[in-house]
Amino acid sequence: MQAVAEPGLFVDALGRELDRASRYGREFTLVVLLEAAELEPLAVPFCRASDLKGRSGDDLAVVLLEADRHGGERYLRRLRSQLGIDFAAGCAHYPSDGATAEELLSRASASARS
Residue 82 has pLDDT above 70, yes or no: yes
Residue 106 has pLDDT above 80, yes or no: yes
Taking the C-alpha atoms of residue 98 and residue 44, their distance in angstroms, rounded to an integer, is: 25
Return the SS3 of 68.
Answer: coil
Give this prediction's pTM. 0.89
Average pLDDT value over all residues in the chain: 88
